[in-house]
Structure 1
Amino acid sequence: MNHPKISVIVPIYNVEKYLKACLDSIAHQTYDNIEVIMVNDGSTDQSGNIMHHYADLYSNFHGYDKPNGGLGQARNFGASHAAGEYLAFVDSDDRVTADAYLHMVTMAEQTGSDIVVGNVLRFNAYKTFPSGIHRQAIVRTKRRIHITTDPELIYDTTAWNKLYRTSFWNKHQFAFPEGMLYEDIPLTFPAHYLARSVDVLDETVYFWRFRNFGDHSITQSRTAVNNLRDRLKAVEMVNRFFEAYLIDPELCEAKDVKLLSLDFMMYLNKLPNADQPYFDLFQDYVTRYL
């Protein structure tokens, strides 16, 4: 097998407790042709110093400092500096398995697919457990499939359990929406749809952190009205893509089932603890959607 370069983008913001474990998991990969592009997005803790320490320690780790602009902007900044034939993203409080990129790039080189998707486990300080959404998306290892024939991929909405062919990424000028939460969702569905083919690995490539009590991530703070507003914005962006591409009714139905059973349900379950503006926004949008 050839050894094409993989560019791994790591956006960093105030994660000094978790960053070393994340970067160590990338540094200790069994695949040897990786460049790591670390983007310090205006951290106010020691994250920037940790980043520069790793840049000094490893010749293939490169650190960039920029003013805070949010996760989407930091990922886009990192992707603009990528020189690899493949592109991957890692959130700076998560970890990748030691063989993740070896397995993904091996499959991509064998099949020629534009995206390789790997399985995900969640973890916290006490346990490791399956990721519910990825269990729905990844049934078993499959090669050269497409979301139109395997609609369970509609549940595969995270940016970081994937390897993207850089030529494919650049051809479609993909970029994460900036200035909002849930920036993965409006990008991953178009990527799935526009890909010539996608490979799916049922083995775990990524450990997705579930923050402990009192240390919630953005996606765990679902009772904030801006969190709900950005989720609905992401939904609307996906819906507009469906309309623009006149996507088949069967896939539209799969998308609606996913939204009703997962996206909207997560926020419906938060209504007892939400304030009135949150309640009104949810009720108005879901009523119109139904």
Structure 2
Amino acid sequence: MTGSAHDDAPLLSVVIPTHNVRPWLRQALDSVLRQDVDLEVIVVDDRSDDGTIEFAREAAGRDARVSVVSSPGEGGGSARNAGADLARGRYLVFADGDDLIPDGAYDALVTSLEVSGSDLAVGDYIKFRAVDTWRPTAAMPAYGRASRGVTLADEPTLLYSRPCWNRAFRREFWEASGIRFPDVPRSNDIVPMVSALVKAESIDVVDDVVYVYRERPGSGSMTARAGAATSLVSYLTQEAECARIVRDTRDADLAAVFADLVWDRDAFVAVNRYLLAWESDSEADALVAEKVRALLDLTPVPDEVGPLRRLALELAAVGSFAAGHAVARVAGGHPEG
């Protein structure tokens, strides 16, 4: 379906994949439906068994803007792809069923795109948990000012932030780019988001906070499982694909930002967390080492990386996890981690 084929097509399509988020879905949907934008909400449920899909259907019964479908596949990637395929709006955004959209957020993103004609607009965001709230973008220069009609080459530090939920896409661009989310245990948005940033001919940066991410504790939270080998292998595999996309741009500034992301930010934080949790040899260690090594081979070491951080990653890459554990205890984690 395309927006041009329907006179009643909304301006914005909001795709919300859900999996067992019943305790938070009311707040999430309320925050989306309060937005002062002509929108449709497509809830794509991925095998929930806690009443999530029943609640979503009740919401759809009360508000014609909401529709609910079951995901044709398994995993958040399939759910997001299915929602995007159903979208009729001129613009497309993604949100998660346990997060919040500040008032005015979607208007800020859509208005910017209506004025600029850009392919995508990226907004600021904050994260919160029971004990604190923080702004991950504080260490990303691209988020320090509003801009319209820029490219990734103009603002390479946009690469530091790769969630799918703090940005709006011109749906025509999304479909023409052929971008799809993979179904992987962790980090299913970093490859499609890097692809989008690289392919976009024009990008807007909106300085409004357009998303509030809820970091949940417990075994159901992706963040809490981040130390597990399966999760780390998934992340490292996706990150290596990002490394190849960046390498193919042949842009030295972009390569430098990505090297910092690997050696001093996301990859270091993920590997360091695994090293800190490591207690004894396991069958997973060899695969983790292989994936770390593959990523590092694609990403030259930046001159300014700290020696302990470099050592922690290089020990993991050669499978020296006992030594890596000792170094990780000294190296510490990035403040964002």
Q: Please, what TM-score do these two structures have when normalized by structure 1? A: 0.91
Distance 1:10 1:283, change over 3 A: same
Residue among 34, 45, 60 paired with 1:28: 34
State the alpha-carbon separation in 1 of the partners of residues 73 and 23 from structure 2.
19
Instruction: State yes or no: 1:241 paired with 2:245.
Output: yes
SS of 1:18's partner is helix
Residue among 105, 108, 111 paired with 1:100: 105
State the alpha-carbon separation in 2 of the partners of residues 30 and 197 from structure 1.
25
The more displaced of 232-241 and 125-134 is 125-134
Give ranges in structure 1 of 5+ residues lacking alignment. Answer: none
Q: What is the deviation of 1:280?
A: 4.1
Aligned residue pair count: 285
Q: What is the deviation of 1:4?
A: 6.0
RMSD: 2.0
Give ranges in structure 2 of 5+ residues lacking alignment. Answer: 1-8, 298-337
User: Is the contact made by 1:123 and 1:210 (CA closer than 8 Å) also made in structure 2?
Assistant: yes
Residue 81 of structure 1 corresponds to 86
AA aligned to 1:227 is S
Q: What is the deviation of 1:216?
A: 5.2
Residue 218 of structure 1 corresponds to 222
AA aligned to 2:251 is D
Instruction: State yes or no: 1:184 paired with 2:164.
Output: no
For each residue in 1:11-55, what CA deviation from the matched residue of structure 2 results, as whole angstroms up to 9, or x when unmatched?
A: 010011111110010111122x10000011110111011110110
Residue 7 of structure 1 corresponds to 13
For each residue in 1:70-92, what CA deviation from the matched residue of structure 2 results, as whole angstroms up to 9, or x when unmatched?
A: 00000001011000000000011
User: Is the contact made by 1:42 and 1:67 (CA closer than 8 Å) also made in structure 2?
Assistant: no
Q: What is the deviation of 1:251?
A: 1.4
User: Is the contact made by 1:136 and 1:155 (CA closer than 8 Å) also made in structure 2?
Assistant: no
Instruction: State yes or no: 1:64 paired with 2:69.
Output: yes
User: Is the contact made by 1:42 and 1:68 (CA closer than 8 Å) also made in structure 2?
Assistant: no
Residue 235 of structure 2 corresponds to 231
User: Is the contact made by 1:96 and 1:207 (CA closer than 8 Å) also made in structure 2?
Assistant: yes
Over the matched positions of the two proteins, sequence identity in percent amounts to 31
Residue 250 of structure 1 corresponds to 253
State the alpha-carbon separation in 2 of the partners of residues 287 and 192 from structure 1.
26
Residue among 146, 151, 158 paired with 1:146: 151
User: Is the contact made by 2:215 and 2:223 (CA closer than 8 Å) also made in structure 1?
Assistant: no
State the alpha-carbon separation in 2 of the partners of residues 284 and 215 from structure 1.
26
User: Is the contact made by 1:123 and 1:207 (CA closer than 8 Å) also made in structure 2?
Assistant: yes
SS of 2:41's partner is strand
Distance 1:133 1:79, change over 3 A: farther
User: Is the contact made by 2:101 and 2:211 (CA closer than 8 Å) also made in structure 1?
Assistant: yes
Q: What is the deviation of 1:133?
A: 7.3
Task: Choose between structure 1 and 2 for higher RCO, CA contacts under 8 A separated by at least 6 residues.
Answer: 1
User: Is the contact made by 1:133 and 1:155 (CA closer than 8 Å) also made in structure 2?
Assistant: no
Bigger Rg, which one: 2
SS of 2:23's partner is coil
Q: What is the deviation of 1:63?
A: 0.7
State the alpha-carbon separation in 2 of the partners of residues 46 and 186 from structure 1.
31
Distance 1:135 1:108, change over 3 A: same
State the alpha-carbon separation in 2 of the partners of residues 202 and 118 from structure 1.
6
